[in-house]
Amino acid sequence: MKTGQKSEKKPLSLQEIARKGNGGDDTEKWDLRLYVAGQTPRSVAAFANLKRICEEHVPGRYKIEVVDLIKHPQLAAGDQILAIPTLVRKLPQPLRKIVGDLRDTERAIVGLQLRPTRE
Amino acid sequence: MKNSGNSSTALPKAPTGIQGLDEITAGGLPRGRPTLVCGSAGCGKTLFSMEFLVRGATQYGEPGVFMAFEETAPELAQNVRSLGFDLEKLIRQKKMAVDFVYVDRNEIDETGEYNLDGLFIRLNAAIDSIGAKRVVLDTIEALFSGLQNEGILRAELRRLFRWLKDKGVTAIITGERGAGTLTRRGLEEYVSDCVILLDHRVTDQISTRRLRIVKYRGTAHGANEYPFLIDEDGFSVLPVTSLGLQHQVSNERISSGIPRLDVMLGGKGYYRGSTILLAGTAGTGKTSLAAHFVRAACRRGERTIYFAFEESPGQLMRNMRSIGVDLRRCVDDGLLQIHSSRATLYGLEMHLAVMHKLVDGFSPKVVVIDPIGTLIHAGTRQDAQSMVVRLIDFLKSRGITAMLTNLTSGGAALERTDVDVSSIVDTWLLLRDIELNGERNRAMYVLKSRGMRHSNQLREFLLTDKGIDLLDVYVGPEGVLTGSSRASVEAREKAAALAIQQDAERTERERQRKREALEARIEAMRKEFEIEADELATLASQESARAHSLAHDRQKMALLRQADEVARPNPSSKRSGGRL
């Protein structure tokens, strides 16, 4: 069921993927921001999942900023956050958002476009 | 699911400030609860909810948060500026907060579990920042297009509405109307306290906006569809029952423009601020009567608006000039505005809006609507009626004397109007035609006139080139007659009267003659008597003279006989006794 929706995503990001495939992504900085609301099990899980994925795919060139909206509610509007947890990929452009606890690693990787394509 | 059933005794309500809506909801929306406002695209959901917030902030001291999912704050501000709402100012004054929530599925991927705490936090922050009492979510269905997991979304929406209740804010949630359902995503299953349906319908090529309260738990409400309009003053719903009977009443009387009609109306004419209905069949002179009233108003120096739904200003002025009423002068003096438009030009609510605007702009003392019946063509009978009622109410509240004409179609009972306003008018003049002896004549009478003694007489109504003339109709053994039959009967009666008069004169002359003859005879007899009396008097004096002379003679004779003079008195008696 979910895979069907994933294939729908692919054509949309094709250009993106093609650009990345041309190189340059090895030096790209990854600027990620994870929005959570308090220390819930879900947000802890989301952070752990994110950390694991980043270590695996972009080790050493990522930055994760965790924003707790309970402490800074005014920050929610800036990135148009509705769902918690939401991961925002500030860099590289374009902006991407992934909502959920990133439990589905495969989908998270595709959503973040961490690698060009899986041939 | 609900535990609100026990609070039904006195449901607190938050007034919307929307004209008419608070009347049909008996006070407003349920306070502290969410209300669903649904309708198809372009039916005014956003404006409705925005007006709820703006009125709340400006009139009821309840700040509000507008959470927009479809329009940005600047766009919203621009859109509602046409309603006279200065959103930026309200935001600066911390009376309102607008939060634009942008959801784009293309930017969002979903992996795993999540909830909508982000939305809750934003909403909470916005509410707390201004101490909001009112919240609008317009339209939350956008979430469904942005997020894929409907299961999570539905659970979260349920939680959101629960949370809004706990927060104690009066909320409006808007929703797009779906096929066969109130909202496309079935929001009505979460919001069960109050559901308002807005509709923008085109019937016979005329669009009318309507509002219906589908449900309102725990309170009585108007269940009809009510037409509403959106104009520069915002929303206004037209409830049939909104007759606010609070208006000031004037005792001043104003002339109808026809002296004879004033006499029929207690001698003084209409009451100022009353509503006058001129009803009648085609060609009975309704417009002419109205024109006289307009001219009378202009002569008093009062401003008048004439809404003509059947004639253009030029045509109206020309036609009225033919009966000697010069409306052009009134127009030139700036005292009369004639607005001609076809009733079908736009929907009823627009008509009402235009009338409101013109009346507000010109502030007339007299308004003529000629005829009101055509407004049916701009909507349904019921809409037209509620509109006319609303209009009358509006005019009364301003102390404006309203004259409505109504064409009674052939065959219909005279005593009813197409828009059924007859019961709310104050003075009702019925114009009718009387067909008799191959001719048709106009007649009129005062069917009712509240608060004054009025004539019960039928009057014949003549349109002359000097205006309207009212004549007494002939009422006699031959019935009620008008026109030439009246004239002929009157002529016949005149002849008969003349004959009677001549007879009387003849008798009088006879009597006079007799008297004269008698008097002559009396005179003659008196003369005769005088002559006789004279003669008798002469005789009497002759007698006495003779008696005197007789006595004298006797004395003389006594002297001659040398009778004793001293003893004369006695001897005379002795003598007379002796002589006897």
Kindly state the tokens that stand for B392: 């009358």
Domain-located, residue A44: yes
pLDDT top residue among B551 and B145: B551
Whether A15 has its CB under 8 Å from any CB of chain B: the answer is no
**Mean pLDDT within A27-33:** 81
The gap from C-alpha B340 to its chain's centroid, in whole angstroms, comes to 21
Task: Tell me if B116 and A104 make a contact (CB, 8 A cut-off).
Answer: no
Q: Helix (H, G, I), strand (E, B), or coil: what is residue B512?
A: helix
Determine the pLDDT at residue A15. Answer: 52
- Locate the chain A residue with the closest alpha carbon to B124: A73
Q: How many domains, chain A?
A: 1
- Pairing label, strands B194-203, B170-176: unpaired
- Locate the chain A residue with the closest alpha carbon to B140: A82
Of B78, B73, B83, give the one whose Cα is nearest residue B48. B83
Domain-located, residue A55: yes
Under 8 Å between Cβ of B193 and B169: no
Task: Tell me if B147 and A83 make a contact (CB, 8 A cut-off).
Answer: yes
Determine the pLDDT at residue B413. Answer: 62
CA distance B104 to chain A (A): 10
Sheet-wide strand order for B234-237: B96-100, B64-68, B134-138, B170-176, B34-39, B194-203, B206-216, B225-231, B234-237
Under 8 Å between Cβ of B154 and B189: no
User: Cis link prior to B464 (omega < 30° from 0)?
Assistant: no
Domain boundaries, chain B: 5-237, 253-472
Residues 145-174 of B with CB under 8 A from A: 146-148
- Rounded to 5, what percent of chain B is helix, strand, coil? 40, 25, 35
Domain-located, residue A33: yes
CA distance A43 to B179: 39
The reply to whether B62 belongs to the active site is no
Whether A74 has its CB under 8 Å from any CB of chain B: the answer is yes
Whether A58 has its CB under 8 Å from any CB of chain B: the answer is no
Amino acid (one-letter) located at A109: I
Q: What residues are paired with B211 via a beta bridge?
A: B198, B226
Q: What residues are paired with B125 via a beta bridge?
A: none
**Mean pLDDT within A34-40:** 87
Q: Out of B109, B117, B148, name the one closest to residue A37 (CB).
A: B117
- Read off the pLDDT band of A8 (50, 70, 90): very low
CB contacts, 8 Å: A74 with chain B: 125
Task: Tell me if B122 and A104 make a contact (CB, 8 A cut-off).
Answer: no
Domain-located, residue A39: yes
Domain-located, residue A34: yes
- Read off the pLDDT band of B140 (50, 70, 90): confident
Q: How many residues does chain A have?
A: 119
Amino acid (one-letter) located at B353: A
CATH code that applies to domain B5-237: 3.40.50.300
Of B417, B415, B411, B346, give the one whose Cα is nearest residue B379. B346
Task: Tell me if A82 and B143 make a contact (CB, 8 A cut-off).
Answer: yes
CA distance A81 to chain B (A): 5
Task: Tell me if B118 and A96 make a contact (CB, 8 A cut-off).
Answer: no
CA distance A26 to chain B (A): 23
Same fold, B5-237 and B253-472: yes
Quick check: pTM over 0.95?
no
In this structure, the number of other CB atoms found within 10 A of the CB of residue B447 comes to 17
Kindly state the tokens that stand for B223: 């269940």
**Mean pLDDT within B100-109:** 80
Whether A78 has its CB under 8 Å from any CB of chain B: the answer is no
- Read off the pLDDT band of B409 (50, 70, 90): low
pLDDT in tens, B436-446: 778 888 888 88
- Rounded to 5, what percent of chain A is helix, strand, coil? 40, 20, 40
Q: Out of A9, A76, A86, name the one closest to residue B122 (CB).
A: A76
CA distance B373 to B151: 54
Task: Tell me if A77 and B122 make a contact (CB, 8 A cut-off).
Answer: yes
CA distance B107 to chain A (A): 5
pLDDT in tens, B455-510: 888 888 888 888 888 887 777 777 777 777 778 888 888 899 999 999 999 999 99
CATH superfamily entry for domain B253-472:
P-loop containing nucleotide triphosphate hydrolases (3.40.50.300)
Query: For residue A12, is pLDDT > 60?
Result: no
Query: For residue B392, is pLDDT > 70?
Result: yes
Determine the pLDDT at residue B577. Answer: 45
Best interface-test mutation with B: which of A68, A81, A99, A113 has the largest number of B CBs within 10 A? A99
The reply to whether B543 belongs to the active site is no
Under 8 Å between Cβ of A77 and B141: no
Q: Which of B71, B189, B225, B310 is catalytic?
A: B310
Domain-located, residue A23: no
Task: Tell me if B116 and A82 make a contact (CB, 8 A cut-off).
Answer: yes
CA distance B116 to chain A (A): 4
- A53 is in which domain, residue-wise? 28-61
Task: Tell me if A100 and B113 make a contact (CB, 8 A cut-off).
Answer: yes
CA distance B57 to chain A (A): 23
Most confident option among A2-6, A18-22, B78-82, B504-508: B504-508
Best interface-test mutation with A: which of B67, B107, B111 has the largest number of A CBs within 10 A? B111
CB contacts, 8 Å: B99 with chain A: 77
